[in-house]
Structures are given as structure tokens and as C-alpha cells.
Amino acid sequence: MERTLTRYIRALRSAGAGVSTTEAMDAARTVDVVGWADRGVLKTALGTVLAKSVEEKAIHDQLFELYFSREAASAAASEGKPGEGGDPDTGRPGEGEAGADPQSGDAEGDEGAEGGDPVEALSALARGENPGQLAMALERAGAAAGVDEIRFATQSGYFVRKMMENMGVEALEARLMEALSRRTPEGEAEAEGLIGTRSALQKQARAFVEARFEIYGKSAQDAFMNEILAERSFGALGRSDTERMRALVERMAKRLAVRHARRRKVRDRGRLDVRRTLRANAGHDGVPFDIIWKIKRKDRPKIVAVCDVSGSVAQYVRFLLLFLHALKEKVTDLETFAFSAHLADVSRPLETLPFETAMRAIVDEVGSGGTDYGAAFLELDRDFGEVIDRRTTVLVLGDGRSNYSNPRLDVFKQIADQAKRLVWLCPEPATNWGSGDSCLLEYRPFCTLLTQCSTVIDLERALDEILMAYD
Amino acid sequence: MTDGVEQKETPAGLASVEAVTQMLAGTGYIATPEIATAVYLAHHLRKPVLIEGPAGVGKTDLARSVALGLEQPLIRMQCYEGLDESKALYEWKYGKQLLYTQILKDKIGHLVEDADSLDEALHKLTGFQDIFFSRDFLEPRPLLKAMEQSTGSVLLIDEIDKSDEEFEALLLEVLSDYQVTVPEIGTIAAQVPPLVVLTSNATRELGDALKRRCLHLHIDFPDADLEAQIVRTRVPEVTGRLLERLVDFVQAVRGENIRKLPSISETIDWARTLILLHADSLDPALVRSTLNVILKRQSDIAEVAGKVEALLAGGDKAGR
């Protein structure tokens, strides 16, 4: 049973829930305390010990159901055959090579059957006369084929075939060929039966591999797909990617928040805080036992995001806003402005409405028309100038394509002077900056940072850099 | 591991998960299976429980109820920014030390009087110097106090997320080995390991080292049945129909888009308020005038006030 637990912990790890050795040991002690008997208690108990956050708890609850329903099945199987000792995996490692040899594979495969014909034994299994024995055989073949190593759904065909081989299907196929070559009605009837047996076994093996994939492989595949997605340009994302992307963005934001969740105070050693020292030592008759130093408080990040939501950039804005709002824990002070033809404060709809609805409302409000960067900066400075102070980072997201209108560099310079930093994120690659109606190169001298931002990784890096200025 | 200090006996209230549930029910705390399992494991694995969840779902109350149920003292430490060793672990009684040096001055003078050389005087004094750094001059703070309880205790470390990261590191020794090291004296180990409960409102992410040492329990807002049960236990005067409607209304409000969701403690307060007002059913006017009991932000009150009828009707449907 200890093995059951260690394998469960391995499954948890591959599902993305970090389980340390200490926690694994705690889990073993937990099982000692609560026992295996009560499934409900076991589930909550292991959840308490192994999961250390709400997300991990969800992973645990889901996996527990998957894993222990399978475990229950194979436990029932071993009960069906008490002589087996209940551990289908003992001494299996050597089986890997042996399985390739049909003769030895058969010898293993039929130990439950009344000796004799290996093909007959397989047929008996396929007929499902003894479900326990079938489960055992599958379990054994699965272990020999290394199904637990499965990582991608596309590998399942390979593993099914390996399992079949391990169960001795080659002998069956040889018999099948032989029956067909006889070219007699009896031979054909036998062949038909054998084909039925084979496909029944194949179905069982496939179900087995798929169940294992759910437990061990699914999250590895997820991680792989996330990796691909993270490097894909926002512009190239399809509708179906949006949901996955949203989850990814939320996770990245959380990671970023943790990375920057440092203390906001720095001991300014060497500068005595006379007032607090005197007060702290009043009880010691003014003898300064405790010296208290002055403490410098760090600014809390304040971000004013100014986003171009015209057609060409809208998709990028969506993810920037998603990211910024997922960072709420860290960036409590966030003002969002959107502009296209004119500029509007959109912080409120983003906070109160569901994200997609808010995005639609925003685009409706600022109108689609021609983008005018100059006018937008003018409106920002005139109507909302007071939100930008010396601890503010102004974050502009846009391609800088202003339809040949006046870029109003004077206003832009004033905004840049007022703010702590001005960061411009541009979806276009640097080679396109300044081409056509792009004013980026003119704005560039006033920006603290101007960088290309087209994938979620770029976005994370840019926000990391912004938050760094406040650490 | 630490099995050398095996508990003498398991209190009856911790004998099984059901026993924990019953013990807590006896103190008026309705525990879900998760909560009861966590408390049970905390005792048997001798690990602290870290409770996370929104404000007002009974995190602190759990510690209080466990202490009450076990008839053990509750030692509470409220965390805040700047909390340090001298306020959490122990402090030397400087004043007393000073005073005693003054009083004992003559005595000390007397002791070293017959010494011929400075060396000899120093040697003589070395034999006595530790008296000023002994237990008599040690002021135990909550953590040390919890270690020193011979009957066992429940140690509540409240709102750990409010403390600094350095303080978390300080806790590690206390939480994994149940001992406190005082450099001048040595290591003081707990006679009976206390049952430790930490609470966090998740205003910041806690360190992995701390999380690993703890059992993790997340308490969320209860479902309608559980909430009704809790309110009934705390405010027995509330009658069936009113209770049902009140809980349904609060549950409906939690589904609204508001900043600060009403918690269980607010439901209980509201039930008490309604009893004081001799209300026997909910009508929109009454709800509107008492909204400030369950909602703590002006904008939330404004938001919900406009929808009281709809929420009441919705709750009604669900109630039937």
C-alpha cells in the first residue's frame, strides 16, 4: 500500500502540485493515522497534508478521484486472486525485454488460466469471464510497457501496441495468420473469433492507457501547450486559445506578484530615529537599550495604463489589461485609459463588469475611427493630469500610428516629466518603427523604455521591469 | 523524528474525526469534515494548521473553540508589521536587571573585596554573572509562553500575512520542533506541544518553508445549509422561516458584484439585529434599513439596495 501512496504522489507532482519529501512523509504518517478504510476521510486528510493552496487542493481532489478509482479496481482484482500477493508490479522491471519474446510473455500471461494454450487464455480474458483477472493482466502489461511514462495523447497508440505485445498477442496473431491461410470455412470462423478477441483486448488496453494519460500525462501536455502559446504573438491567437491564454496569464501574473512581494521597507542604517528611541526606552529611565533606526518606506507601484484600442492593437490590449488586472494583488493603484478617436477613463467598467463585456463597452465608448495619439495625450494631460505623480509609471500600449496627425510631442514630454517612468510597449517589431505614419521614433527620446511586446513572455518581462523600479 | 516526546494521552475530543466535530459542536462551532479532519491531524501529526480564507468565516473562532473544547488555555499572538523576537518570543527584563544590579552592588563589592588582583576579582565574578541572564529575568512572550504550558495549550498566530518575512523565518523553529532557543540560556522545549493554528487573509503569499511545515486548510463561505446551522447555533432566537430567508438573502448577496462580501460573522450580526428589531419576516424596507450590518462599503450598499426586491424574490424561489 505504501507503493500506492508514493505513486499517487508522483502523479500529483506530474500534475503540477509541488509535493516535497517532507510532505510525502507526512502523507505516509497521515495514512497511518486515518487508515485506508474511509475513502472520504482519506481524501480530506491527504488534501490537508499534500495541498498547500486552493489551486493545489483542486488538483488533488480531481486526481484523487481518478487515481483511487483505478486503484480500487486493481485492488478488487488482486482480491479475486489472493495467491497473487496483491502487488502486480513486483519483479516486473526485467519483463520489459522478456515481453518481446512471445513465448515468455505467454508463460507470464496465463499463470491464472489452467496452464496450456496461451491463445485460449487470451480469449478467456477478452470474453471478460473474470474481470479481476483481466484487470490484473492489463495492470501487469501496462507496467511492463511503462505506460506511466506517457506524456502526450498521441503516444497512446504506441503504448496500446506495447501492452498487447506484453499480453502475448503475437501468438494470437500467428494463429490468426495460420487459420486464414488454411482457407477453409472452419479456418475463417476461427479467424473471425480471433479478430474479435484481439479487438476486445485492444479496446481494454486503450481504455487503460487513456486512464493513465489522464493521471500522468495530461498536465505534461498542458504544460507543453502553454509553452508554445507563451511564445506565440497575440495577433496570431485564435479564438480557441483565448481561454487557455487567460489561465496562463493569470498564473504568470501570480508568479510575478510573488516575485515582487518583497518588503516595502528598507532599514536606513546609520540614521537614528531619536523620537522613537526615546519613547521605546522611557521604561529604562532613558538609558538607550534599544536603538531604533530610521526606516525608509518604498513607494507602492502606481500604474497609469494608456491603451490604444483601435482595431490593429485591440488584441494586444486585451492581454495587457488581463495581465494588469491579474496583478491586482501587487499593483493596487491602477488607472486605465483607453483611446482611439478620443480618450476615456475605463478603470471603472474594468473593475465592475466581467472582462469581455467591459472590453466591448470600452471599444463602443472610445469609438473606432482614426487613432489620434496627439489628441489622446492632450486629453490625458488636460483632464486627468492629476493622476500622474512622481511615483507613477505611465504605460503606453500602442503602435504609434497616428494617421499623420500632430503627435503633440510637447504634451508627451510634459507627461513624461511628471511621471516616475514612461514605458511604451509596441506590438510591432523594431524594424517597422517610424515607417509610414508611425511616430514612435519621435516619441522615443521621452520614453524610459520602448520595447516590442507581442507575446505573453514579452509582456511578463516588461511588467517585471516596471515593478523592479519599485522594489 | 520527534517521537521521543510522544503525547501522554490523546484528549477525548481528539480521538477521532467525529469526536472533533462533536467537541466543536459542543462549543457552538459547526465544523465541516475538512475542518474537523485538519484539527484531528494537527494533533496526531503534531503539525500546525494554516487556515486561509476570506475575512469573517471563523478562522480565529476555530482556534478559540478548540481551546474551549479541550479546556486548554488559548494563547493568542496578533501579528503586525514590525513584530519581532522581543515581542513574540521572549525579552529580558531590563528594568529588573538594572534594579538588581543596583541593589546587589554592595554585595558584589563585598564579594570581590578580598580579591588581590583584578584578574582574581573577574574570576570570582564569572561564577555569578549568569544570574542576570537566568529564567528569573526572562519575560516570556506568547510563543515561549505556549511552550511552557504544562497542560498543553492552543497557540493562535493570527494574521500571519501581516507580519514581515523575517518573522516567518523566526517561526520555523517554533513550528517544526516546538522549541525556542534563548542564546543565554539554551533551548527550551515544549513540555506538551501546543496545538498551533495560524490564520492568514492572503494579503501576501506566505513563504514555501512555512507552508511546508503546516497543514493547509481553506475555509470558504459556507453553503446555505451550513450557514443556517451556524446561525441557529449562535442566535437560537431566530425562527425557522426568518432564518431561511435571511440566509438565502445573504447567499444571494454573495453572488452580486460587490467589493466586500458579507461573511458569516456579519450574517450572525444581522440575525441578532433582526431579533432586536422584533422582525419575524424580511421585507424590502427592513432589509434596506439594516443593510449596513452586512455590507461595509457605501458603494456596495448602494449596489445592493437597488436590487433588494429581486434578491429577496430569488432567495424565495431557491428556498422553496
> Which residue in the block uniquely carries the three cell numbers 419575524?
B280
pLDDT of residue B78: 92
pLDDT of residue A353: 80
Percent of chain A with pLDDT over 90: 10
DSSP A85-102: -S-TTTT-TTHHHHTTSH
What are the tens digits of pLDDT across the range A251-291? 888 888 877 766 556 666 678 888 888 888 887 777 887 78
Cβ of A20 within 8 Å of Cβ of B212? The answer is yes
- Inter-CA distances, A33 with A111, B42, B237, Å: 37, 11, 40
pLDDT of residue B238: 86
- A30 contact residues in B (CB cutoff 8 A): 41, 45
Cβ of A45 within 8 Å of Cβ of B211? The answer is no
- A57 contact residues in B (CB cutoff 8 A): 216, 218
- Which helix (H) or strand (E) element contains residue B182? strand B179-182
pLDDT of residue A263: 54
- Inter-CA distances, A159 with A142, A148, A154, Å: 8, 10, 10
Looking only at the bridges linking them, the beta strands covering B90-92 and B138-140 are antiparallel
For residue B56, give the C-alpha cell: 469573517
Reference A456, options A264, A246, A221, A291; nearest CA is A246
pLDDT of residue B77: 92
Chosen for mutation from B37, B161, B203 (greatest number of chain A CBs closer than 10 Å) is B37
List the single residue in A with minimal CA-CA distance to B38. Answer: A48
Please give the Cα distance from B294 to B316 (Å, whole number): 19
Q: Share the mean pLDDT of chain B.
A: 85
* Pick from B33, B41, B165: CB nearest A30: B41
What are the tens digits of pLDDT across the range B275-301? 999 888 888 888 888 999 999 888 888
Instruction: Provide the greatest CA pair distance for chain B.
Output: 96
Residue B37 · residue B103 · CB < 8 Å:
no
pLDDT of residue B173: 82
Residues of B near A (Cβ–Cβ under 8 Å) read 17, 33-34, 37-38, 41, 44-45, 47, 52, 94-95, 98, 164-165, 204-205, 211-218, 257
* Pick from A26, A41, A53: CB nearest B47: A26
CA trace torsion B286, B292, B295, B300 (10° rounding)? 90
DSSP A228-241: HHHTS-GGG--TTH
Positions in chain A whose pLDDT score sits under 70: 1, 70-116, 261-269, 329, 368
- A34 contact residues in B (CB cutoff 8 A): 17, 37, 41
Question: Å from B134 to nearest chain A CA?
Answer: 19
The predicted model gives B78-97 an average pLDDT of 85
**Per-residue pLDDT at B209 exceeds 50:** yes
pTM for the full model? Answer: 0.69
Which of residues B4 and B132 earns the better pLDDT score?
B132
List the single residue in A with minimal CA-CA distance to B93. Answer: A284
Q: Share the mean pLDDT of chain A.
A: 80
The predicted model gives B224-242 an average pLDDT of 88
* Pick from A40, A48, A352: CB nearest B257: A352
Percent of chain A with pLDDT over 70: 87
Chosen for mutation from B62, B100, B205 (greatest number of chain A CBs closer than 10 Å) is B205
What are the tens digits of pLDDT across the range A303-349? 999 998 887 787 888 888 888 888 876 787 888 998 887 888 888 88
Chosen for mutation from A19, A30, A48, A329 (greatest number of chain B CBs closer than 10 Å) is A48
Bridge partners, residue A307, by sequence: A338, A397
What are the tens digits of pLDDT across the range A54-75? 888 888 888 888 888 766 555 5
Looking only at the bridges linking them, the beta strands covering B154-158 and B74-78 are parallel
Cβ of A51 within 8 Å of Cβ of B17? The answer is no
List the single residue in B with minimal CA-CA distance to A47. Answer: B216
**Per-residue pLDDT at B260 exceeds 80:** yes
Question: Å from B298 to nearest chain A CA?
Answer: 15
Handedness of CA A345, A350, A353, A358 (dihedral sign): positive
pLDDT of residue B318: 46
Residues of A near B (Cβ–Cβ under 8 Å) read 20, 22-23, 26, 29-30, 33-34, 40-41, 44-45, 47-49, 51-54, 57, 257-258, 261-263, 283-285, 287, 289, 329, 352
pLDDT of residue A267: 65
